[in-house]
Structure 1
């Protein structure tokens, strides 16, 4: 599987959502046992648990130890579905925003790797350390703002004013998308770890790895939100 192929937990998550929607399983109804569900979907129990954890965090299912997995809310599989708590549904779906970020920010990170000044790199290092401290303290709103600033500074360092203008004009939407992955507190540190990986590539002036690390980060952030999208294959 190449680096932009969908991870197995993503496939399982979407398959479960499709199963619920197509079979008309309603709130309060039980899904098949985890063993049967894993066999039906052709995934490992570990991948199934990861997918169920994401859906549980989104309030779509309830995993009750010793009892089973129960649907909590109706599931739609439309591209334009709204994520619970997403206030910008009339403008763009969360998937739209994550895909836009994947395209823009991956490209910007590749450019920034060769244009960042030592001072800009120092600021990013301070940002990453500050995020670690905020996450350790459970201050997720503050961490999301640092997340936004990390990405903004990379776009700024790329020197592409058009991309920066898009971010500036839609700052509230971008910031909201960066809050979404923190709905799963137990996985919040993954954002920091991914930022560290991006930072290491930038510090090495490695354009390709920086672009790849940024794109992986955006797709992983979407997955932590319960959103999976297919990226175009590399030419």
Structure 2
């Protein structure tokens, strides 16, 4: 049992303990998505803490996307959410020095392995979804930048689904804003863009998927990202380019 305390440090410690108690129960599948938690009063009695401590712990869990709090209704367990990681990446990429370069490096590290796994595991239907996105990119080589960016994003998300790795899928979901940020930052450099060449690099990835060749898929993704380095370097030399963003 937890001992009640009125000091600030003890209250913080108790709040962290209650928070971890609920996280542990979710991890152990005692609490499952959609389940209602006991009331604040019941949790306070069960854990021998005050209701304000429970309330603060639930607030933390809500901020993490683990629970949903609704006025007048029981607090419920949420499904898996990438919101906290998404928010961190969204802020980090825009505020740290060399955020664009580091975002590209992060994407390259993750998506290179995704491409290799996708070549091993993708089903025909999953490959078809990647090809649909690729076809939309082709139709917008000389067309709408917005449509092109949407198709480019859809391509990389569909590729992640081909990996048959739930954590990669969730991580790519969390990277969503970061991916769109990097794609737009690069896409707006019209004097540096070569959409036809970019399309060809995406097509090489699809060819490797269809051939079920992980090494070729990995190499194609590395090649794809290598071509962004020059653009990122130019942006680093002239930060005014991001003013177009």
Say whether the 8 Å CA contact 1:134–1:143 is kept in structure 2: yes
Counterparts of 1:152 and 1:135, CA distance in 2 = 20
Q: Report whether the alignment pairs 1:153 with 2:149.
A: no
Secondary structure of the residue aligned to 1:135 is: coil
Give the corresponding residue for 1:197.
204
Say whether the 8 Å CA contact 1:191–1:221 is kept in structure 2: no
Distance 1:188 1:180, change over 3 A: farther
Gaps of 5+ in 1: 1-85, 229-235
Structure 1 length-normalised TM: 0.55
Counterparts of 2:112 and 2:140, CA distance in 1 = 25
Q: Report whether the alignment pairs 1:213 with 2:213.
A: no
Root-mean-square deviation (CA, aligned residues, Å) is: 2.5
Per the TM alignment, residue 163 of structure 1 is displaced from its structure 2 partner at its CA by: 2.2
Q: How does 1:223-234 map to 2 (within 5 A)?
A: 223-226=230-233
Of residues 116, 120, 129, the one that matches 2:122 is: 116
**Bigger relative contact order (CA 8 A; separation at least 6):** 1
| 4+ residue segments displaced more than 6 Å | none
Counterparts of 2:233 and 2:147, CA distance in 1 = 22
Structure 2 length-normalised TM: 0.53
Gaps of 5+ in 2: 1-90, 236-245
Per the TM alignment, residue 87 of structure 1 is displaced from its structure 2 partner at its CA by: 9.5
Secondary structure of the residue aligned to 2:231 is: helix
Secondary structure of the residue aligned to 1:226 is: helix
Distance 1:222 1:141, change over 3 A: farther
Give the corresponding residue for 1:183.
188
